[in-house]
């Protein structure tokens, strides 16, 4: 009754950081059952904790939405393609968090990203994952920041971090569920073998990746443009999939043992803004292993020049 009086005629209730509220799922169920009509938006930065607390009491009565950093499509739709091209370098270096985009100076952008990493992303991971060695999480992320686009060996990571493989797997799972990392598994015709293939890890945001290695230099002063561009393309692709289909799609990595002979044509795109990088669109038939599973498969390759 007190809750009814407090909410009054409210038709929309927004709860931020909902995963921190005890018994949030049960409380939301009571509100939905007893106070009608009302819509509730419950946000949280840790999917594993919020999903566990909200999931069961509201089974079949909730709709989960993933909110990514601002996408290139959103920038183009709101400000135009010319503006997007002018800020592409900023996107590659500082990422797409709203606060970063509206900040005027590089100092403000870098300070925000440092605060975001220390007080928000890692805080949730450490708190909800019961991590006893927080420095190892930072070390793990730093190692992955230098391996963008490369297959990751959990055994090698465990050896470098002086941890057992199981602990590394748990840390990676926590970082995925707290929206820091994205895991792209290796592709295989045999779905059972696909589970055992090495993964590639990408960051949800380029700025988070760069704050980990403390490098906000301009593109002219960097030797990791390929990694920045690949991470940017992967996350933008996932944003597009989520926006169009309202759900994450399965994405897989493909490793070519032999370099294929590809007929390519160079397209003039925003890549012209990036030094020493060109985009090649593969116009030939994709590998047979792809088309056997995905009839409409097509191939796009990106290489340094």
User: Is residue 177's pLDDT more than 80?
Assistant: yes
Q: What pairing do the DSSP bridges indicate for beta strands 301-304 and 277-282? A: antiparallel
pLDDT: which is higher, 213 or 7: 213
Map out the domains of the chain with their CATH numbers: 2-55 (no CATH), 72-253 (1.10.10.10), 264-304 (no CATH)
pLDDT: which is higher, 300 or 32: 32
Sheet holding 252-253, edge to edge: 200-203, 181-186, 252-253
| Confidence (pTM) | 0.76
Is-cis flag, bond preceding 291, omega within 30? no
Q: What pLDDT is attached to residue 273?
A: 35
DSSP result, 162-206: T--HHHHHHHHHHHHHTTSEEEEEEP-SSHHHHTTSPBEEEES-H
User: Is residue 305's pLDDT more than 50?
Assistant: no
Mean pLDDT of all residues in 34-51: 74
Tokens coding 17: 């950081």
20 falls in which pLDDT band (50, 70, 90)?
A: confident
Percent of the chain clearing pLDDT 90 (strictly above): 36
Mean pLDDT of all residues in 67-71: 91
Can you say how many angstroms the Cα of residue 12 is from the centroid of all Cα atoms in its chain? 29
Lowest mean per-residue pLDDT among 31-40, 83-92, 126-135, 291-300: 291-300
Mean pLDDT of all residues in 109-129: 84
User: Is residue 21's pLDDT more than 60?
Assistant: yes
- Rg (alpha carbons) of the chain, rounded to whole number: 22
Count Cα atoms within 13 angstroms, Cβ side, for 302.
15
257 falls in which pLDDT band (50, 70, 90)?
A: very low
pLDDT: which is higher, 75 or 270: 75
pLDDT: which is higher, 290 or 111: 111
CB neighbours (10 Å) of residue 166? 10
User: Is residue 165's pLDDT more than 90?
Assistant: yes
Lowest mean per-residue pLDDT among 27-31, 114-118, 210-214: 27-31
Nearest to 233 by CA among 195, 197, 184: 184
As a whole number, the mean pLDDT across the chain is: 77
Q: What pLDDT is attached to residue 6?
A: 79
């Amino acid at each position: 009754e007190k809750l009814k009086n407090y909410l009054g005629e409210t038709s929309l209730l927004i709860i931020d950081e909902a995963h921190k509220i005890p018994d949030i799922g049960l409380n939301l169920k009571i509100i939905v059952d007893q106070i009608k009509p009302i819509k509730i938006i419950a946000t949280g930065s840790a999917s594993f904790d919020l999903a566990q607390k909200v999931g069961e009491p509201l089974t079949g009565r909730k709709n989960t939405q993933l909110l990514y950093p601002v996408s290139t499509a959103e920038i183009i739709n709101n400000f135009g393609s010319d503006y997007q091209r002018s800020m592409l370098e900023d996107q590659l270096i500082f990422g797409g968090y709203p606060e970063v985009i509206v900040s005027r100076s590089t100092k403000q952008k870098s300070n925000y990203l440092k605060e975001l990493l220390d007080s928000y992303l890692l805080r949730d991971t450490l708190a909800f994952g019961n991590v006893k060695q927080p420095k190892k999480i930072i070390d793990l992320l730093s190692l992955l920041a230098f391996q963008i686009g490369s297959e990751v060996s959990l055994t090698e990571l465990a050896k470098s971090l002086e941890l057992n493989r199981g602990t590394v797997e748990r840390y990676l799972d926590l970082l995925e569920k707290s929206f820091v990392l994205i895991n792209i598994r290796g592709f295989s015709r045999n779905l059972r073998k696909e589970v055992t293939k090495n993964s590639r890890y990408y960051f949800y945001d380029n700025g988070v990746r760069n704050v980990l290695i403390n490098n906000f230099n301009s593109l002219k002063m960097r030797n990791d443009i390929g990694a920045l561009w690949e991470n940017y393309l992967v996350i933008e692709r996932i944003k597009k999939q989520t926006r169009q289909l309202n759900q994450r799609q399965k994405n897989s990595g493909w490793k070519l043992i032999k370099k294929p002979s590809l007929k390519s044509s160079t397209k003039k795109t925003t890549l012209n803004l990036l030094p020493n990088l060109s985009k090649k669109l593969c116009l030939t038939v994709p590998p047979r292993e792809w088309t056997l599973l995905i009839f409409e498969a097509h191939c796009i390759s990106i290489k340094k020049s």
